Structure formats: structure tokens, C-alpha cells
Amino acid sequence: MIDDTDLLAKLDRQFLGMVSPTSPRIQAGGHPCQGIYTTPKGQRPKTAFIATHYNVDFSEHYIAPYLASRGYGFLGWNTRYRGAEDQFLLEHAVIDIGVGMRWLREEAGVETIVILGNSGGGSLMGAYQAEAIAPTMLDLVQGAGRQAMETLPKADLYISLNAHQGRPEVLTDWMDASVVDEWDPVATDESLNPFNPDNGTQLIISAPAGIFEAFVAEIAAVEASDEGGAGARGQPARAIGAKYGVEFIDAAEPR
């Protein structure tokens, strides 16, 4: 990480702690919504960024001083789910982001808000803007929560920065197709192991239009099979691909 101490010395930083319409302060006094607003020293920018992640603390985001030094405000904003990914509920995260958005508009005097979707925050901030434009989760909350969902402040611009499509897609992509027993992660079908040098490095796949889905379905059936080496499970991935005209192109070692 680059040392930004000298840069921060030229900026103002304001800590924010706020309640959410669906979450009060905890007994020890902590607020569910927290963040740091970084601005040029002595200025109130009319354009500001806000970045939030579904579980990582973004209050001291690395890009904050660089945007602030160029005249913008930057709110690194945390929902109640910072460090609590297992408890994450999208509707309440969206409500918490709305608290930060409203503060920028009503307290900081920001006229143009840019939501920055960085890493896992890409899908989260996209979901926020979608809900602000056309709510789809109103039935999941009631009372103050529903009112907050109905009045979410809209952003003016959205930037995706090194973002992925969302945790479900990422975790699916990370799954090891060669594992044959979910209770024994070292039990694998070596014909489906991309790290087995006998299979080549099968990371880049090209296939005729409409064929790839059938190939994936058969690979999935191979994974689900419990025939222990009989039938399709014993076939190398390349042999299955050959049935559908799928071509494996060797790429760099996936490790």
C-alpha cells in the first residue's frame, strides 16, 4: 500500500456515525452506519463519491485521498454488516447506504453524487441504484424500513472499479469441478482436475453457439454422478467436450 500520509495532511476527514431506519445504536453506543468523509481542506465539494462493500470496511478506502486531492468529496461508508458477512441482508444494506446518501445531499451540500462500485461493492451499489429507481423489495420491510426504501436518494452517476458480478457468481466460479464428495474435498475426479498436467490447462473454452450449455450440463451430470468411475465419470473432460465440438485452448497455469 502506498504511503498517503503526506496527502492526508492536506485534507479534511470527518468521522460519521449514524443510526439506520431499521437498526438503532447498540448498547455499547456504536452506530450501525459508520464512515469517513474526506474532502479538500476547508472546502465543501459539490460533487462527491460514496463507496460501500457488503462486509469489508471501506471507511478508509485507498482511493479517498486521491479523489479528495482533486477537489471531490469521498464518503467511505459502512453498513451494519461490516465484518458480518454471514448476517447480510440486501434490503437492510440498501437502507443503510441510503443513510449515507441522504447525509451527502442534506448535510454535506453535495449536488452530484457518484456511487463507486469497487470489488464486491460493484453489485451492491448497482443494486442500491436499481432500488432507488424502481423498488422491488418493499414487501421485505415495513414501517420506517419501507418508508426508507420508498424514498432512497438516487445517485447521479455510477462507476464500476475492479468489480465482480456478485458473491454468488464468484463463489460458483471458484468451485472445484473435480470434487466428487462435498464432505471430502480431497476426493477428486482427476479427469476433471484443471490442475492436473495430464489434462492441460483448460481455462479458455470456445464452443459453437448454443452448444456450450449442453456441454456444461453434461459436466454437471458427471460431477453429480455417484457411479465411481463408471460411465461418464471416467471420461476425460476433453472427451466430453469433443462430443459437442468444444475446443480447449491451453492458457497459463491457473495456480
- Separation CA 114–CA 156 (nearest Å): 6
Secondary structure of residue 116 in the 3-state scheme? strand
Q: How far apart, in Å, do the first and last CA atoms of the chain sit? A: 24
150's grid cell: 420508498
Closest CA to 246 of 206, 193, 209: 206
Structure confidence at residue 251 (pLDDT)? 43
Res 217: pLDDT: 80
pLDDT given at position 116: 97
What is residue 145's predicted lDDT score, i.e. its pLDDT?
97
pLDDT, one tens digit for every residue, the chain (255 residues): 678 888 999 999 999 999 999 999 998 999 999 999 999 999 999 999 999 999 999 999 999 999 999 999 999 999 999 999 899 999 999 999 999 999 999 999 999 999 999 999 999 999 999 999 999 999 999 999 999 999 999 999 999 999 988 778 877 777 777 888 889 878 888 887 777 777 765 444 555 566 777 777 887 777 666 544 444 444 566 777 777 776 655 544 443
User: So what's the pLDDT on residue 236?
Assistant: 61
How confident is the model at residue 233, as a pLDDT?
A: 44
Residues 183, 186, 212: CA angle, nearest 5 degrees: 90
Domains annotated on the chain, with CATH: 5-165 (3.40.50.1820), 175-249 (no CATH)
> Using an 8 Å Cβ cutoff, are 176 and 190 in contact?
no
Helix, strand or coil, per DSSP, at residue 115: strand
